[in-house]
Amino acid sequence: MIKSRRAFTLIELLVVIAIIGVLATISVIALSNARAKSRDAKRVGNMKQIQTALELFYNDNARYPTLEEWSSGTLLSTSSNATTTYMKIIPTAPTPADGDCSESENALDYIQTEDGASYSISFCVGNTVGIVSSGAKDLTPAGIVSDSGNLPPFVCGSSTIADADNNIYNTVEIGDQCWTAENLKVGSMVGYTGDQSNNSVIEKYCFYDDAPSCVTSGGFYQWAEALQLPFACNAVDCSSAPGDPCCAFEVPRQGICPSGWHIPSDAERLELNTYLGTTVGTKLKAAPGIWDGDNASGFNALPVGYRATWGGFPSQGIETRFWSSSATGSSVWTFYLNSSQSDLNHGNYEDRLSGISVRCIKD
C-alpha cells in the first residue's frame, strides 16, 4: 500500500514565506548598499579625472575654463577651432544622491575663481571612499576638500598644500618667497634605468626603484617631465633656438607643482641666496644628525643625491640638486648643496636627462 505524503500546513507555508521575505529584504538592502558605494566610488573617480583634465587645460592656457566653456560639456583647448581635447565628455553626478546628500549638493557645480587662476566644483559623497569622507565636498586645484568657502586664508609657513596625488607638503616663508619645505613626490614610479615618457602621466624615479624612498626623500624627475614639456625639449639647444617653445620662460612654469606654484627660475634662486646671505647652504640644509646644516631657514634640504643619466644614484648622503626652469644652451641652471660646502651653488652643466629633485615656489 502506498503511503500518502503529508502536505505543508498553513503555518509551515507562512513560515517559509516569511523566511523568503526576510532573505529577499536582506538581499535588496545589500544590493542597494553596493549600488550606493559604487556610485560614490564613481563620483570620486570622476572628480580625479576632471582635476587632471583641468590641469592640462591650465598648462596650455595659463587659466582654468570659464563657466561657458565648462557648460559646453567638453573641455577643448579653445572654445572654437579646438585642436586639443582634454575631456571629451564632462561627467555628470550619478543619481540618485546617496547618504545625507541632497540632490542639489549631488550636482556638479563649477565656478571659475581668481580671474581664471583657480576653480571650485561642488559635489557630494554618501559614504567614505578611501581617504575621502562622506558629505558635501569641493574639488579645487589643491584636491578634494570640505567646505572650501570656509577655509582659512593661506598662510605660508603654517598652511600646507596638496599635489595632484593629494600628497600634503609643508611650506616655509623665506624673505618674500614661499617654498615647499619638502621635495615633491607626485607621480607614478617608473624604472630608474630608462627615460620618462612623453605622456599625460606624471612619472618619477625612486632610489633604485624603492617606492618607500620616494615618500621620505621625494621623487627624481627629468627636466621636461618636471616642467611638463614635450620630451623633445630635453634635447633643444636654447642658445641657438631662443624662440623655441621649450626655451620660452617669460612666465612661470607650473610643471608638476600644485596650482598656484611653479618651478623656480634661476633668478628666484639668486633672490633666495641674497636674502639668506653668508653660509646660505648651511641654513638650507636639514639639521645636524642628517648632514652638516642647521636648517635656520626651515627649508629642510636632505642629502638625497640624484639620478645620473647612466641610471645610478651617486652622491646620496653627500649632496642634493634642484631643477630650475631656466635653460641655458643645451643644459639647465640647477642649484645644489654639498656636504663639504656652506654655499648654495648653481651650475649650467646639468644634463636634462638626469633625475633631479623638485621644490616649488608660490606664484
Q: How confident is the model at residue 150 (pLDDT cuts 50, 70, 90)?
A: very low
pLDDT of 8: 63
Task: Report H helices in 249-342.
Answer: 266-276, 280-284
> What would the pLDDT profile of 237-280 be if each residue is shown by its tens digit?
888 876 787 886 656 788 999 888 999 998 899 999 999 988 99
In three-state secondary structure terms, 143 is strand
Contacts of 122 (CB under 8 A, 6+ apart): 105, 107, 108, 109, 136, 137, 138
Is 358 within 8 Å of 257 (Cβ atoms)? yes
Q: How confident is the model at residue 189 (pLDDT cuts 50, 70, 90)?
A: very high
Strands 345-350 and 331-338: antiparallel
Beta strands in 181-292 (DSSP E): 188-189, 203-204, 261-262
Query: pTM for the whole thing?
Result: 0.61
Strands 168-169 and 161-162: antiparallel
- Dihedral sign computed on CA atoms, order 205, 211, 213, 216: positive
Lowest-pLDDT range, 26-35, 90-99, 144-153?
144-153
pLDDT of 334 > 70? The answer is yes
Of residues 9 and 235, which shows the higher confidence score? 235
pLDDT of 27 > 70? The answer is no
Mean pLDDT (the chain) is 84
Give the pLDDT mean for 214-234: 92
Q: Taking Cα atoms as reference points, which of 341, 272, 345, 336 lies closest to residue 306?
A: 336
CA of 331: how far to CAs of 173, 228, 273, 304, in Å? Answer: 29, 17, 21, 21
Is 142 within 8 Å of 55 (Cβ atoms)? no
CA of 298: how far to CAs of 67, 119, 235, in Å? Answer: 40, 30, 35
pLDDT of 300: 94
Q: How far apart are the first and last CA of the chain?
A: 98
DSSP 5: P
Is 357 within 8 Å of 306 (Cβ atoms)? yes
> What would the pLDDT profile of 39-80 be if each residue is shown by its tens digit?
888 888 898 889 988 988 888 888 888 888 888 888 887 645
pLDDT of 7: 62
pLDDT of 1 > 80? The answer is no
Strands 203-204 and 188-189: parallel
Q: How confident is the model at residue 148 (pLDDT cuts 50, 70, 90)?
A: very low
* φ and ψ of 220, to 5 deg: -115, 135
pLDDT of 4 > 60? The answer is no
Q: Where are the domains of the chain?
A: 34-150, 161-362
> What would the pLDDT profile of 78-122 be if each residue is shown by its tens digit?
645 556 788 888 988 888 888 888 887 888 888 887 778 888 888
